[in-house]
Amino acid sequence: MRLVDARGLVRIHGRGTAAEHRALDCVDFSMEPGEWVAIVGPSGSGKSTLLHLVALTDRPDAGALTVAGQPTYGLSDAALTRLRRDRLGHLHQAFHLLPTLDVLGNVRLPLDLQGVPDREAERRARAMLEEVGLERETHRHPAALSGGQQQRVALARALVHAPALVVADEPTGNLDRETGRRVLTLIRRAIAFAGSGILMVTHDPEVAAAADRCLTLVDGRFET
Ligand SMILES: Nc1ncnc2c1ncn2[C@@H]1O[C@H](COP(=O)(O)OP(=O)(O)OP(=O)(O)O)[C@@H](O)[C@H]1O
Ligand SMILES: [Mg+2]
């Protein structure tokens, strides 16, 4: 099984308007299970657009996309949502933690959404928090945490359900260099712990160099 297989992906933003833009122009790429792939490229080259397609939060205008072994063409919104919930983890530059939930509540959320029994969800969330070194912060709220701590909570949440694939858009982009390095080390450890692959957009050459493979997008195409 291929973790991701994309053939001839096209995404045109603002179709039929003056602002029409071909953000992805016939992109092919694939990932193997457990692989870490970095995507780099200039601002506006289509990196986030590609990530949204793979994250199943947007649909291509043309092309074929298989995610976690599941061909996505023709799937209903409900089926895409299930696939996203069960097989994917998400990591964002801006963390996107829920402010009303404490650390434990944020991390166990993907399990709660899947209907995992209460004690099992708590046990797995605590194990993941231990993996990112936050086992003592379980009852604090996101607003009371540093940026690096918030991203570690987000990382634990992205991996708690052992997703096949984590999609990450500049996960170290809001962190200072030293904190970014520490989070990167944790990402490496945590994806190995969960057995997940990761597709990561980054502007940081150090992050890109840590990946198994690095692809460069320019004007909606991969450079060869
Ligand atoms: N909703 C939209 N409507 C019109 N154009 C859009 C839309 N979203 C993105 N674009 C355009 O598509 C192109 C690719 O955008 P995208 O966000 O994928 O770039 P990016 O590589 O992630 O850039 P950055 O590094 O700045 O985050 C850009 O030219 C952008 O202006
Ligand atoms: Mg972007």
Per-residue pLDDT of the chain (224 residues; tens, 9 = 90+): 899 999 999 999 999 899 999 999 999 999 999 999 999 999 999 999 999 999 999 999 999 999 999 999 999 999 999 999 999 999 988 899 999 999 999 999 999 999 999 999 999 999 999 999 999 999 999 999 999 999 999 999 999 999 999 999 999 888 888 888 888 898 888 888 888 999 999 998 888 998 999 999 999 999 98
Q: Which residues, in sequence order, are bridge partners of residue 216?
A: 40
Residue 75 Cα, ligand 2 centroid: separation in angstroms? 26
Q: Where are the domains of the chain?
A: 4-222
Options 3.30.565.10, 3.20.20.80, 3.40.50.300, 3.30.420.40; CATH for 4-222 is: 3.40.50.300
Tokens matching residue 11:
């995404």
> Helix (H, G, I), strand (E, B), or coil: what is residue 164?
coil
At 194 the pLDDT is 83
Cα gap 160→156, rounded to integer Å: 6
Mutate to test the pocket of ligand 1, among 9, 10, 11, 13 (most ligand atoms within 8 A of CB): 13
Closest CA to ligand 1's atom 30: 44
Q: How far apart are CA 154 and CA 171, in angstroms?
A: 9
Instruction: Determine the distance separating the centroid of ligand 2 and the alpha carbon of 169, expressed in angstroms.
Output: 7
Residue from 48, 207, 222 whose mutation best tests the ligand 1 pocket (most atoms within 8 A of CB)? 48
**Does residue 44 have its Cβ closer than 6 Å to ligand 1?**
yes
Please name the residue whose Cα sits nearest to atom 29 of ligand 1: 44
